[in-house]
Structures are given as structure tokens and as C-alpha cells.
Amino acid sequence: MKTTTLTVERQGFGRTKRAASSSTLSGPILRWGLSALLLAIGSNSIFANENEGTHGQDASGRTMSARVDALIAERWAAEEVAPAPMSDDARFMRRVYLDLTGVTPPVAEARRFLGDAGDDKRARLIDSLLSSPRHSTHLANLWRNLLLPNGFRPDELGNAMGLQSWLQQQFADNLRYDSLVAEFLMASGSLENGPGLFYTSLELKPEELAGQTAQIFLGVRMQCAQCHNHPFDSWTQRDFWGYAAFFAQLEDRNAMQSRNGRSLQDSNRGEVTLPDSDEVIAPKYPGSRMADPAEGGTRRMQLAIWMASRDNPYLAKAAVNRVWSQLFGRGIVEPVDDLGPGNPASHPELLDELAKFFAHSGFDLQQLYRVLVNTNTYQLSSMAGEQTDLPSRDLFAYYAPRPLSAEQMYDSLERTVGTQTLQDNNVAVPPALRDTRRLQFVMSMQQITRGTKYELGPIQALSLMNGSLTATATNPQQGTLLQALEAPFFSDQQCIDVLFLSTLSRYPNKEESSEFASYLQTAADPTDPVVAADSGGDPIDGTKRHVTERGERLADLLWMLINSAEFALIP
């Protein structure tokens, strides 16, 4: 794939020539320092490996991965479809990093993985990423977007942080998925300490809570039966309002009533009635029996117990289908929240067997991810651009590239240029919660639709090309990467390799190397310093930092790679 055409047209840095001096050249050498040296040998903390620990796939997991491939291959044979070849190591590495951790691989890990000759290196990388703190951060991001599809107001920032932190902790502990759902449904207390914002964002309306929780956790669209019986499914209006009754006694205690601010609590009053009537509808489990008040506990507690029980036929299938959709770009049932007789699965036997495996594994999400990304089906290459008549997407005969989400784009840009703010445990700050620039970027890029799928449109492309984040990322005055690459011991080819590894997670091909090298070599004088007209103070000593003509050209090349289609995609 040809990534760029080397005609640089961007609004950049006005250059002011300055006379060279010994102090001009010695100052930057001190500032290149550790980051440049460690980048040269491939071991900078900014670009460090995610986690060296591994869990490994057990025999049942390997058997299930093979079974997935066998069931998918049966459909290929029936449809007389030839699958794509396996992806190369670079594309697999970028794909699995973004899918499991939400960020592109560090330069050091890219070099290490691409240079590894071991037959099991893909499985080892998968294990490492699943045990990484970034995996739980990424899952928390995905689920926050799912639970709060329209974002949150600035005054809800603290509550959003509470939801994010709660989700991240559950995924870090690898809590059983059925237990996670049960705890979510029983959430109470301060809005700042957990899932409360989900409930208040829907104004505690029983019908809204019923509709959304059914879609998210059961994979069914019960709200279509809110006003009448479902036109394409077996849900009746009474079914919907019976489910909504579980949320009818939820209250929001406001700050005037509680010294600790707003909080959720269950009461013993509150009912739902059938629309256009006064008939009270008692709680009824979806597709199952009526709830029995004699069983004790609040209504939400009764629902949570049923949700995690064997009587619930929906939970495992809905979860498996959602994870599959996240990894493959579409579900075994598509849309993912419409599991029903009117919307059959593309591979019914596969969905059934995966759901049984998930339940028998103890609803282990990490094990489910491990099984799926270890399949040959997940590791197929993309045939896009190689043939015009592609097989149907629901055959999963090739990998369909997907655009990066807003959070993935932001995190990857920060990792690329080495400007990210890290917590003590080297985990990226949760997106859109603590950084105003991040929030602005995410809101400008994000599509306001429920779920975790994104489309990169003209507004998003312009925001990426001309936005403040990209300008900062490609400013040689600010980016750690660009400052490091100005070190005199880097050859042009080494710089080009690092630019490609840090942005596209691969080495350049011969044509790209030649074009990029020619652009660098045409600089008027690689040692003649210039200073950007809009440059800020040096981050170390507060003075203007001199930038060479070569440094400006490196910044141009970085800008081009960041704005390439390849950077914006999960390959």
C-alpha cells in the first residue's frame, strides 16, 4: 500500500533563520538525552512493552478456537468462498493492540514482535495484552460509550469518572460477566461511586431503563412492544411493562436530602400501568415467569438474581455476540441488540456453542477474548483493494478494516508523539474525563449513536488534519518523538523506520523509504537552525528551542503519516 505522496501542504511553522552557534547545537543534544538514546535501542518508557506477564490458553480454549474456525469454514465450503490469506505480522500486531488495548503498539514492542521468529509469538502477544492494565481501561471505554451513548454534561464529569472507574475495576479484576451485570443492576448509593449516571441519564424512567438494559444485556429490543405488541417478535406489551416494573421503585435522593449528594435507592412504592389504562402491571422476567414477592429483596435485586441465573437464556448469547461484533466489525447476529426469530444468526450453531462455552468458563470475558483472537478467522488479512467482488461480510472470509474510535485515535496520537499523560501504573488517563483537550477531540470525532461503532466522516477528517491535537503532535517544539529524532546519531533511514513504526506499526517498503529519504535530503542545510514563529518555551528551561530544517521536514512527514488512511484504520 502506498501511504503518501510527498507534496506537503499544511499550515505549519513560520521559520525564522538564526545563526548557528556552539550553544545552539549543544543545547538540543542535552535535551535529546535519554529519550533519544532509549528510542535508538528500542527501550523508552514511553514506548515500553505493555506487560510481560502471560496467562496462556488452556486446552478447552484451544479446542474452542479450533471449533470456531471449523464452523466458519463449513459456511465457506457451502458458499464456495475462498478465504483471504492470513494477515502479516505487522497488521495482526496493530489489529490486536487496538482491539485489546485501544492503542497502537509502542515502537519497542513493534520492533520486538516483528523481529521474533517464534511460532507462538502471536499467542504470547495476546496473553500479554490481556493481562495488561490497558485492556481493562479499553473495555471500560467501550462500555462507558455503550452505557452513555450521548456522552455527559460538564457538570456530570465526576459521576462519569465514577462510572469509568467502576467499570475499569470490574474488568481489571476479571469479574464474572454475570456478576458484573448483577452488580450493575443493583447499583445504589452515591452517583460518584459507580453506575448511577446510567440511571439518572435516563431520568429513572422505568420504560427507558427497561428498553436500554434489555438491548445492552439481553440483546433484544423490547421497547418495540412499549405501545403495542412487537410486530416482528414474540414480545407483547404486557411483557415489556412487566420488565419495566422492576425499575418502578427506584428513587434518586437529591443533594437536599442527602449530605453526600445525589444517590440511588430502592423504595417500596412505585408501579407501572399499561398505557391508556389504570391496570397495574406486576414484575415479570423477560420470556419467563412472574416475579414472586415472597422471594424477598428489592425488585432490582430479584431482577439481578434472575439475570445471572440459568433461567436467563439471553445473557450469554448477547455478550458473546457483542464481543464478536467488537472484534470482527459485525455480529453473528446483526444488529447486535436484535437477537430474535425475525433476525436469524449467520452461524446459529457457532453462536450457541460460544454461548455455552462462555457460560461453562464461568462467564470469563478474558477467556472469551483469548479464544476469539487466537482463531485463524480473526487473523485473516483484508482483501479490500485486491478484488472488487468481495464475499458477503457475514461469511467472515476476510477481515474488514474498521476506523479507529475517537478514544483510540487520541490515545494512539499521544503514544505516537510521546506526549501522553500517564498515571503511576503507566495506564493512559481514561478518555474524555480528565483532559479538556481530550474531551473536545472525542466529542468532535464521536458519532452520537448507541454502541461502539464509528464512522470517519468529513468533519472528523478535517478535525484530524487541522485540529489543535494534530498541530501539537507534529510541532517539533513539543513532541518528544520529533525532538528525539533530531539526535545526530540517527540516520535518515532510522528516523523513517521510527516514524512508520510509531504511526502505522510497520516498517516502510522500499518505495516509501526512498521517497521519504529524498524529502529529508533536500533540506537546505540539515544543521542550520530555525525557530518556529509560534513556538512555545522549552519544556525544560523555558527558552526557545531551535529546530533544524531537517526537524521541520521530519514534522512534515509525521503529519502526512498521521493523516493517511492507514493510520485511521484497524487493518
The DSSP result for 279-298, as a single string, is: -EE--B-TTSPBP-GGG-S-
Divide the 571 residues of the chain into consecutive groups of 10 and give the mean pLDDT of each group: 47 33 33 51 40 64 97 97 95 98 96 97 98 96 89 75 91 97 92 86 94 96 77 81 95 63 87 92 90 91 94 96 98 94 94 98 98 98 69 94 90 77 42 56 59 55 65 74 85 96 97 96 62 42 60 92 93 92
Looking at residue 463, its pLDDT comes to 63
Q: What is the DSSP letter of 340?
A: B
Instruction: Determine which helix (DSSP H) or strand (DSSP E) holds 273, and give its type and residue range.
Output: strand 272-273
At residue 246, the 3 state secondary structure works out as helix
pLDDT value, residue 453: 54
Grid coordinates of 266: 430502592
What CA–CA distance (Å, rounded) separates 373 from 327? Answer: 8
At 14 the pLDDT is: 32
pLDDT of amino acid 525: 55
Q: Hey, where are the domains in the chain?
A: 15-52+402-570, 175-307
Q: Give the neighbor-by-neighbor strand order of the sheet with 189-190.
A: 189-190, 263-266, 250-253
- The distance between the two most distant Cα atoms of the chain, rounded to a whole number of Å, is 88
Q: What CA–CA distance (Å, rounded) separates 273 from 248?
A: 10
CA 54 to chain centre: 21
CA dihedral 329, 442, 168, 202 (to 10 degrees): -90
Q: What is the pLDDT of residue 101?
A: 98
**Dihedral sign of CA atoms 476, 431, 315, 333 in order:** negative
pLDDT of residue 252: 86
- The neighbour count for residue 346, using CB atoms within 10 Å, is 18
95-395-406-38 Cα dihedral, nearest 10 degrees: 0
Q: How far apart are the first and last CA of the chain?
A: 12
Nearest alpha-carbon partner for 471 in 437, 512, 431: 437
Question: Residue 102 in contact with residue 138, Cβ under 8 Å?
Answer: yes
Residue 454 has what pLDDT? 52
- Residue 90: what pLDDT? 98
Cβ-count burial 503-512 (b if 16+ within 10 Å, e if not): bbbbebeeeb
Cell of 323: 464481543
CA 191 distance to own-chain centroid: 25
No. of helices (H) and no. of strands (E), the chain: 23, 10
pLDDT value of residue 539: 40
- Residue 451, pLDDT score: 47
Q: How far apart are CA 402 and CA 326, in angstroms?
A: 10
